[in-house]
């Protein structure tokens, strides 16, 4: 097959944007040029690569295979460019990171510190629910992935780097707000507001309560920490939420952390990527940066520990 590397990048842009016009913009060419180049790629392969349904591009099975191949080739080429830059004493390139939504409360700060050290690096940050991040992980679309509950059916390189305590919150006026050392059974009859099925917080919560032989009285399932927090502040029920989502100031958000036996649930943040994947130099440096920042955070939280 006679396909140029630039044509492969154009097809990869088509797969990522879902439209010919989007691919053209990404590659800085006109739409007619992009259409012509994509037709050339299809003719070179000899099988349909995509179809347009309701103005949206959908890849065929062959197109998906080509996208995976092009993505691997592009990643290897970019990594090679970074290694060459490193030999020249330069640090520049592109870093792609996908994180679950709760990580947005601390990852941007870590990214900011990283970018101040390496200002020539372009950052692509995807903030999604857990299913979205797992989907990108399975397709190997990014350099690194950050989540609290990595999938167990995928062979991963997995590094735990930061605690993620899950606390039980209620409105400041809740009847249980000032009680201490409550057994979990004291929550019977209390309505619960939980994150959606499949989220890392929900998986950890369900597992913990199941071990406690406690079935929560579910009132609402919500898809964001902000929505959960506001519902709790509105006295609709109690909820389990990451301590990171409270920004250290629950009272200013109209909620309080309940003192219940078995809480907080001990969870952790993980840096993961497919096992066997060779990280680019920039991704490797960023991974080390996250670990170092997490160690400093832990030292600030527990200054007496060594």
Determine the length of the chain: 306
Bridge-partner residues for 162, per DSSP?
269
Q: The tokens 């609709």 sit on which residue?
A: 236
Model's pTM, two decimal places? Answer: 0.71
Residues 33 and 177 in one domain: no
Could you report the per-residue pLDDT of 214-273, keeping only the tens digit for each? Answer: 999 999 999 899 999 999 999 999 999 999 988 777 777 889 999 999 999 999 999 999
Residues 178 and 253 in one domain: yes
Reported in sequence order, the residue ranges of the chain that DSSP labels E, i.e. its strands, are 50-53, 56-59, 93-100, 121-128, 144-147, 156-163, 166-171, 191-195, 217-222, 238-242, 255-257, 268-274
- Which residue, 95, 92, 72, 78, is CA-closest to 276? 72
pLDDT at 302 over 60: no
* Proportion of the chain above pLDDT 70, given as a percent: 94
Comparing 72-76, 92-96, 164-168, 185-189, the range with the smallest average pLDDT is 92-96
pLDDT at 303 over 50: no
Please give the tally of structural domains in the chain: 3
pLDDT at 188 over 80: yes
Sign of CA dihedral 280, 286, 288, 294: negative
pLDDT at 9 over 70: yes
pLDDT for position 305? 39
Is 90 within 8 Å of 81 (Cβ atoms)?
no
Residues 159 and 276 in one domain: yes
**Local confidence band at 299 (pLDDT 50, 70, 90 cut-offs):** low
How big is the chain by its Cα radius of gyration, in Å? 23
Residues 159 and 274 in one domain: yes
Q: In this structure, what CATH number is given to the domain that contains residue 131?
A: 3.40.190.10
Q: In this structure, what CATH number is given to the domain that contains residue 35?
A: 1.10.10.10
pLDDT for position 251? 77
pLDDT for position 301? 55
Boundaries of domain holding 217: 166-257
Within a domain: 207: yes
Residues 37 and 154 in one domain: no
pLDDT at 70 over 60: yes
CA 13, distance to chain mean position in Å, is: 21
Residues 11 and 38 in one domain: yes
Residues 61 and 144 in one domain: no
pLDDT for position 300? 60
Is 233 within 8 Å of 254 (Cβ atoms)?
yes
Q: Report d(CA 291, CA 181) in Å as an integer.
A: 34
**Local confidence band at 112 (pLDDT 50, 70, 90 cut-offs):** confident
Residues 233 and 178 in one domain: yes
Mean pLDDT, residues 27-40 taken together: 92
Residues 158 and 274 in one domain: yes
pLDDT at 37 over 70: yes
Within a domain: 77: no
Residues 149 and 295 in one domain: yes
């Amino acid at each position: 097959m006679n396909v140029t590397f630039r044509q492969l990048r154009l097809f990869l842009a088509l797969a990522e944007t879902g439209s010919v016009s989007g691919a053209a913009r990404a590659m800085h060419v006109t739409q007619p040029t992009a259409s012509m180049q994509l037709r050339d790629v299809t003719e070179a392969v000899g099988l349909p690569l995509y179809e347009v349904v309701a103005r949206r591009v959908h890849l065929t099975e062959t197109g998906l295979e080509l996208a995976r191949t092009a993505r691997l080739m592009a990643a290897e080429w970019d990594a090679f460019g970074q290694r060459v830059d490193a030999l020249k004493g330069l640090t520049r390139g592109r870093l792609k990171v996908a994180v679950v939504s709760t990580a947005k409360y601390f990852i941007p700060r870590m990214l900011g510190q990283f970018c101040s050290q390496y200002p020539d690096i372009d950052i692509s940050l995807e903030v999604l629910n857990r299913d979205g991040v797992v989907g990108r992980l399975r397709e190997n679309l990014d350099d690194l992935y950050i989540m609290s509950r990595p999938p167990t059916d995928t062979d991963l390189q997995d590094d735990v780097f930061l605690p993620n305590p899950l606390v039980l919150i209620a409105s400041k006026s809740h009847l249980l707000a000032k009680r201490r050392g409550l057994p979990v059974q004291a929550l019977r009859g209390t309505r619960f507001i939980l994150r959606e099925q499949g989220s890392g917080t929900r998986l950890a919560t369900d597992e913990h309560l199941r071990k406690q032989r406690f079935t929560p009285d579910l009132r609402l399932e919500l898809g964001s920490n902000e929505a959960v927090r506001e519902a709790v502040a509105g006295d609709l029920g109690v909820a389990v939420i990451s301590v990171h989502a409270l920004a250290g100031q629950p009272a200013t958000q109209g909620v309080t952390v309940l003192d219940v036996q078995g809480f907080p649930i001990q969870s952790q943040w993980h840096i993961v990527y497919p096992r066997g994947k060779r990280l680019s130099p920039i991704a490797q440096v960023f991974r080390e940066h996250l670990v170092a920042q997490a160690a400093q955070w832990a030292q600030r939280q527990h200054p007496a520990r060594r």
